Amino acid sequence: MRRNNSANNNLFTVFTLILCPITLLLGNILSYFDIHVALSSVQDMKHSIINVYFTKLGWFWTSLVGWWCIIRYKVIRPGTAPSTLNYDIFMYISMTVFWYICSQSLIFIDSSLIDLIFKLTGGKCIIDTSNNSKDSVNNTTIYNSIACKRNGGDWIGGHDTSGHIFLTTLMLMFLLSEFNVFGVKAIKQMHFKRILRKLKSIFFQINFIKYGWKTPLVFCVSFLGFVKDLLNWLVLENPIILLVFFCLLWWWNFLVTAIEFHTILEQYSGLILGYSFSVVLFYITGLI
């Protein structure tokens, strides 16, 4: 069985296919303006909350949210979307293995594909044995960037394929491919009125004339009830909102990387690596 290829799905597929290339081009154009100064103050890629707790754990969050949406909309309530679990499993396992090989390890050698490309294009790990830069040595026994940085070295000299661009491309392509199947219908099924009524009731309870000294207690109980209902509505009933949130977050991260980090060639090699593999999977699963 092939995926649903209605006109709306085909339009969204086109959007999915052009999003990353267009964003990278936009980032390259914006990099010539002073916008990068503002961005660097908003998001320090090494130490920001977004990078530490989300981007560095990007595939974990993508897996968690993506699969909860698949289970919620295709298993618990299969009427929301056509059953394509076999393709979902195939695509996810393929992307996970490819992500691991490219950015973590080739398994048979202590290097990822991205690090191996870096070494083969003249890259090396330079470790300073003293404060004098003249004493720096070329450590040829280190084959990956993580080990190099762990030993206090600098990973320099080769073609440093953008891992951020590669990873965010994979994550966006996976999440958007799932949104293409059930996103619109899931959003139409959301019940905003129930949450709005609950929120309205909380503000009504802030009435000092009616409740007197009980007001803080009543408000706290109502607020906790609202938080419980909100989490239930967001996580259990409408996880599509989380999927959209992470799509926007990964897109923003992609754009900032395109503006701030790596050379253009390194950015495009990261895009080609993640994009070409995703397109092949899209073709195999019938998404295109």
Q: Look at 151 and 98; give whichever has higher pLDDT.
A: 98
Q: Are residues 83 and 185 in the same domain?
A: yes
Where does the pLDDT of residue 260 fall: very low under 50, low under 70, confident under 90, or very high at 90 and above?
confident
Number of domains in the chain: 2
**Range of lowest pLDDT (4-8, 21-25, 86-90):** 4-8
Cα–Cα distance for residue pair 210/23, rounded to 1 Å: 55
Q: Are residues 225 and 83 in the same domain?
A: no
Residue 134, pLDDT > 50, answer no
Q: Are residues 179 and 228 in the same domain?
A: no
The CA-based diameter of the chain, rounded to the nearest angstrom, is 78
Partners of 156 in beta bridges: 124
pTM of the model: 0.81
Q: Are residues 13 and 64 in the same domain?
A: yes
Q: Look at 114 and 275; give whichever has higher pLDDT.
A: 275
Cα–Cα distance for residue pair 215/193, rounded to 1 Å: 25
Q: What is the domain extent for residue 223?
A: 191-237
Cα–Cα distance for residue pair 50/13, rounded to 1 Å: 28
Q: Look at 23 and 287; give whichever has higher pLDDT.
A: 23
For tokens 């897996």, the residue is: 63
Task: Note whether residue 78 is domain-resident.
Answer: yes
Task: Give pLDDT, residue 34.
Answer: 64
Q: Are residues 224 and 83 in the same domain?
A: no
Q: Are residues 170 and 42 in the same domain?
A: yes
Three-class secondary structure of residue 162 per DSSP = coil
Task: Note whether residue 139 is domain-resident.
Answer: no
CA angle, corner 145, sides to 140 and 150, nearest 5? 90
For residue range 101-112, what is the model confidence (pLDDT) as tens digits?
A: 988 877 767 778
Task: Note whether residue 211 is domain-resident.
Answer: yes
Residue 213, pLDDT > 60, answer no
Task: Note whether residue 142 is domain-resident.
Answer: no
Task: Note whether residue 58 is domain-resident.
Answer: yes
Q: Are residues 81 and 12 in the same domain?
A: yes
